[in-house]
């Protein structure tokens, strides 16, 4: 049985000695760590990479932890956070502000306490991810109608007007949900990939094209070809619902052929 991947913990702490001690303690119990003494460096890492959790000192030289959390939110970078606090006033602020932090520990703290809190947050984060079908859709979302078919996230099915029910994959569901929520606008490949696969997905991958072909083929088999899903070459797509004024009189769109397999963003 393959071993579970080691969780990657970012340690954003400006005291090198403390950061190194924390790193050693976490690696002893099977975690990976990455240390940053400045939030700018941590931000650059998180823009391009995934981490399971971040330990964030509130008092940092160039930017406090509260401001850094807000910056991550604006960039749509979501990561569980445990604040490292140094005094009671910081604790009060953590409790009083809705910053999205998952927990906090007050210095000085023991290795056992920190590790226990990290494991608890990791378990909660994993449980939360279980509800996600894709990055932009959850099984708790309400069913919606897409070109006559009822799309149900709880069962990952599409029920067509003739009563037939078809299973759909997670990525196909994510694409349908994004198109449904963004009608009559140009949707860039980058935005669609990041919304369905995640912020760190490779936007050069052709996986998106393969899944769009699957969606088109599904509706075509059921007698509902998506003529109103327009491919804008080099940019992305535009979906005009059949009951939209923008779609009245629209002509048939060219059929897409599936590109060579590429699984980089699956």
Domain count for the chain, please give it.
2
Q: Is 68 helix (H, G, I), strand (E, B) or coil?
A: helix
Residues 180 and 102 in one domain: no
Report pLDDT digits (tens) over 184-210: 999 999 889 888 887 666 767 788 999
Q: What is the pLDDT of residues 64-102, one digit of tens each?
A: 888 898 898 887 787 899 999 887 676 666 654 566 678
Buried b (16+ CB within 10 A) or exposed e, 43-53: beebeeeebbb
pTM, whole model, 2 decimals? 0.55
Is there a single domain that holds both residue 144 and residue 85?
A: no
Q: Are residues 92 and 147 both part of a single domain?
A: no
**Residues 197 and 141 both lie in one domain:** yes
What CATH number is given to the structural domain containing 107? 3.40.50.2300
d(CA 79, CA 82): 10
259, part of any domain: no
Same domain? For 235 and 161 the reply is yes
Task: Let me know if residue 262 belongs to a domain.
Answer: no
The pLDDT value recorded for residue 136 is 77
How far CA 39 is from CA of 11, 84, 99, 201, 213, in Å, comes to: 10, 14, 16, 23, 41
Instruction: Give me the domain span that covers residue 156.
Output: 137-247
Supply the CATH number for residue 235's domain.
1.10.10.10
């Amino acid at each position: 049985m393959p071993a579970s991947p080691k969780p990657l913990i970012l340690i954003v702490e400006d005291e090198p000695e403390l950061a190194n001690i924390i790193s050693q303690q976490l690696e002893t119990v099977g975690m990976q760590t990455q240390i940053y003494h400045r939030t700018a460096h941590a931000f650059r890492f998180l823009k391009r990479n995934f981490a399971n959790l971040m330990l964030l000192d509130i008092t940092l030289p160039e930017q406090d932890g509260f401001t850094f959390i807000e910056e991550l939110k604006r960039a749509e970078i979501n990561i569980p956070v445990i604040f490292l606090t140094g005094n009671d006033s910081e604790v009060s602020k953590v409790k009083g502000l809705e910053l999205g932090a998952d927990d906090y520990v007050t210095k000085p703290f023991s290795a056992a306490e920190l590790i226990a809190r990290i494991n608890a947050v990791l378990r909660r984060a994993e449980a939360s991810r279980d509800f996600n079908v894709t990055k932009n859709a959850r099984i708790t979302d309400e069913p919606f109608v897409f070109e006559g078919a009822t799309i149900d996230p709880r069962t990952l099915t599409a029920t067509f007007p003739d009563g037939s029910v078809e299973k759909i994959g997670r990525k196909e569901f994510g694409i349908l949900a994004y198109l449904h929520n963004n009608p009559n606008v140009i949707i860039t490949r980058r935005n669609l990939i990041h919304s369905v696969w995640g912020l760190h997905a490779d936007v050069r991958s052709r996986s998106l094209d393969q899944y769009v072909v699957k969606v088109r083929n599904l509706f075509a088999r059921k007698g509902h070809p998506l003529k109103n899903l327009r491919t804008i070459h080099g940019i992305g797509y535009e979906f005009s619902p059949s009951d939209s004024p923008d779609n009245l009189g629209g002509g048939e769109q060219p059929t897409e052929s599936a590109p060579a397999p590429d699984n980089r963003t699956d």
